[in-house]
Homo-oligomer: A and B are copies of this chain.
Amino acid sequence: MPTSENDSPPVYREIAEDVRAAIASGRLSDGDRVPGENDLMKQYGVARATARQALSVLINEGIVVAIRGSGVYVRAFRPLRRHGPRRLSRELWGAGRAIWQADSPGGSFETDSVEVAEVAAPAYVARALGLTDEAAVVRRHRRYRLEDRPMQLATSYLPAEFAAGTAIARPETGPGGIYARLAEQGRAPAHFTEEIRVRMPTPEETAALHLSAGTPVLDVLRTALTDDHTAVEFNEMTLDGSAYVLQYDFDA
């Protein structure tokens, strides 16, 4: 007997679907309150746990947020735009071709909880930088905030060979940041490669980025190379997935 499709979905899914439809249709929109546990219990005649389960589906989908003592609300998506290469951007913006509405950074990024240390390179970092395993590297960790909202975590690694003892190994790197310091050494980054993946955050990341449930993060791993393709920096970034749209422009 073939798997029959006529068995109805569980109640909690149907409830979730009703609420989801109300949001998709625009009957409920950004910031609106959605029916809470007690509402759903009455409306559908179900137990508390079932109403909760329906809401937890929507929370884990990231389309609503629960606020203790207050209610459950429709969540908005208002990301920042992060550009890879900017070459074509202006032409495209001129034509109004950006798809997702995105805020432009009103204020500027603030840097937070900077930690600098000289450490032995983990295997994947050594590989990215073309170093031998456990080679000494300068590690710079920091958090970026925009108007008090944490947006991303970043950890840079640079070979200690040329980074140790320079401004690169100090919390304050001076005007232009580490790329300016690299340029002064004749190691200006000329080529970049970025690898991107998505995943759900760890509890530590959830805390550090103030993520609500159902928010994935983007891992962006960037390797910066000089003109002659020597790797000079490896940067491991973790971005709040609800806060960013990434844009890349390139030629065929």
With the chains together, A125 CA to B42 CA distance in Å? 42
The chain B residue with its CB closest to the CB of A128 is B97
Segment of A83-91, A132-140, A147-155 engaged in the interface with chain B: A83-91
Question: Is A17 at the interface (CB under 8 A from chain B)?
Answer: yes
Question: Is A67 at the interface (CB under 8 A from chain B)?
Answer: no
Q: Is the CB of A199 within 8 A of B216?
A: yes
Name the contact of A88 in the complex, choosing from B56, B100, B191, B201 (C-beta under 8 A): B191
Question: Is A208 at the interface (CB under 8 A from chain B)?
Answer: no
Question: Is A198 at the interface (CB under 8 A from chain B)?
Answer: yes
Name the contact of A247 in the complex, choosing from B193, B229, B246 (C-beta under 8 A): B193
Across-interface contacts of A244 in B (CB, < 8 A): 197
Across-interface contacts of A218 in B (CB, < 8 A): 198
With the chains together, A99 CA to B236 CA distance in Å? 10
A162 to chain B, nearest CB (A): 18
- Residues 208-252 of A contacting B (Cβ, < 8 Å): 213-214, 216-218, 221, 223, 229, 231, 241-242, 244-252
Question: Is A117 at the interface (CB under 8 A from chain B)?
Answer: no
A252 to chain B, nearest CB (A): 5
Cβ contacts A to B, 24 pairs, < 8 Å: A20-B203, A60-B214, A62-B200, A77-B197, A84-B248, A95-B130, A95-B229, A97-B223, A99-B124, A99-B127, A99-B128, A99-B221, A189-B252, A190-B251, A192-B249, A194-B248, A194-B249, A195-B247, A196-B245, A196-B247, A197-B244, A198-B216, A199-B242, A248-B248
